[in-house]
Chain A
Amino acid sequence: MLSDQDIELLETYLDKALDGELAQRVEQRLAQEPELAAELARLQEARELRMQLWQSYEPSAESAERIIAGLRKREARRAWFWRILDYRERIAAAAACIAVFLIGWQWGRNANAYRMVPAGGTTSQPVSLITQHQVPSQHGDVYEVRLTDADGKLVRTERFDNLQDAQSFINELKGQLVRGRNR
């Protein structure tokens, strides 16, 4: 009865993985031990069966062509994907332009919200700046509130004898401004 070590030795011998001296010893034993030689033949036969099986897995040439066709298809898809990426860059640039336009438009709308009619006034021109100035006059200092449009053009000027009146006018204007924006 052969041991596992003997069988492993024979398998290693068949794998041509034994060094010269050891291989020679195995060959000597094979010549002297019929049981070992029979086992070697059995192992070889088993290998041949396995080889036969594996060789049967080798496909026809059509299979290689199918693989090539599949690879071509993948490559075409990949190329298409990269082309799409180029388009995506263009799309991103267009989207950025649209975004800039929308932001500008929204900003313009907000600026227009300052359009108002001052209390008791006759103008409905847009007001974008309200400034308050102390102006010297013959009757002492007066307070002037200047309304300026988006272009910096003076729309209206109101003079007040005291600072309190000027400020209440400004507050009233601001109130109208907010109401106008909410409308």
Chain B
Amino acid sequence: MSNSSRDNLAHSGDADLDAMFERLVRDHSPRLMAIARAIVGRRFSPEDVVQQAFANLYEHRERYDWSEPMPLLRRAVVNEALRLLRRPPMSPIDSVQVGEDASPDGRVLQSETVEQVRRAIDQLPDHFKAALVLCEYERMSYPEIAQELGITLQQTKTWIFRARRQLEHKLAEFVRDGRSVK
């Protein structure tokens, strides 16, 4: 981001959103929505999570260094998602609303296996989900994840490893249950 763009972002006081900020939303929201969806599952709308994260950042935009926006945006989304999950559970939102059936090319997820993976991931503890999605989807290193989540390196490794083991057990359960139903 150029210096002038950064200045624009930091000092725009108009009711209209800054053009640079709008571009940030357009460029990064798909990935951020996926991260949010992976963490909040069906308990909250990922769109609301991302919008709130952007709103928080926009309100205090002069405080941040916008030269590297993605880590900042990602952290805001992860924090917002985990903050929401700490609230008392609400009824699951409509799955169509979260956009999981409306992927970019309009394809519909029909794979039973992927659906089982989704169910298994949704049942993981929230912090495990956050660590796993940052590791595998965002391809962040362990130290980066530790910094992002505010935990130790050892904790990060433990969470990711346990998340994978728990997923395996869940999937094995689903397969077993599926067979016994048949």
Chain A residues in the interface with B (C-beta under 8 A) = 4, 8, 11-12, 15-17, 46-47, 49-61, 63-68, 70-72, 74-76, 78-79
Contact = CB atoms under 8 A, between A and B. Distances in A.
Contacts of A71: 17, 21, 25, 51, 54-55, 58
Contacts of B99: 57, 59-60, 63
Chief secondary structure at chain B's binding surface: helix
A176 B109 CA distance: 95
22 contacts: A11-B160, A15-B135, A17-B141, A46-B167, A46-B168, A50-B132, A53-B109, A53-B114, A53-B121, A55-B103, A57-B46, A58-B104, A59-B46, A59-B99, A59-B103, A60-B103, A60-B104, A68-B22, A68-B26, A71-B54, A71-B55, A72-B17
A58 B33 contact: yes
Of B15, B55, B111, which is in contact with the most chain A CB atoms at under 10 Å from its CB?
B15
Contacts, number: 121
Contact of A50 (B51, B111, B117, B161): B117
Contacts of B107: 56
A50 B113 CA distance: 10
Given A53-B121, A57-B37, A58-B104, A70 B142 contact: no
A141 B37 CA distance: 102
B161 A75 contact: no
A45 to B, nearest CB: 10
Given A17-B141, A46-B171, A78-B15, 18 more contacts: A11-B160, A16-B141, A17-B142, A46-B164, A47-B136, A51-B136, A54-B136, A56-B103, A58-B30, A58-B34, A59-B46, A60-B104, A63-B47, A64-B26, A64-B30, A67-B47, A67-B51, A74-B55
B133 interface: yes
Contacts of A64: 25-26, 29-30
Contacts of A46: 117, 164, 167-168, 171
A153 B132 CA distance: 92
Interface string B132-155: 110111000110000000000000
B108 to A, nearest CB: 9
A160 B47 CA distance: 93
A48 to B, nearest CB: 10
Chief secondary structure at chain A's binding surface: helix
A61 to B, nearest CB: 7
Contact of B100 (A4, A57, A78): A57
Interface in B5-56: 14-17, 21-22, 25-26, 29-31, 33-34, 37-38, 46-47, 50-51, 54-55
Contacts of A79: 14-15
A9 to B, nearest CB: 11
Given A63-B29, A67-B50, A57 B34 contact: yes
CB-CB nearest 8 A-B residue pairs: A79-B15, A59-B99, A57-B34, A57-B37, A58-B30, A64-B29, A54-B137, A58-B34
B26 A61 contact: yes
A175 B135 CA distance: 91
A11 B104 contact: no
Given A8-B161, A71-B17, A51 B137 contact: yes
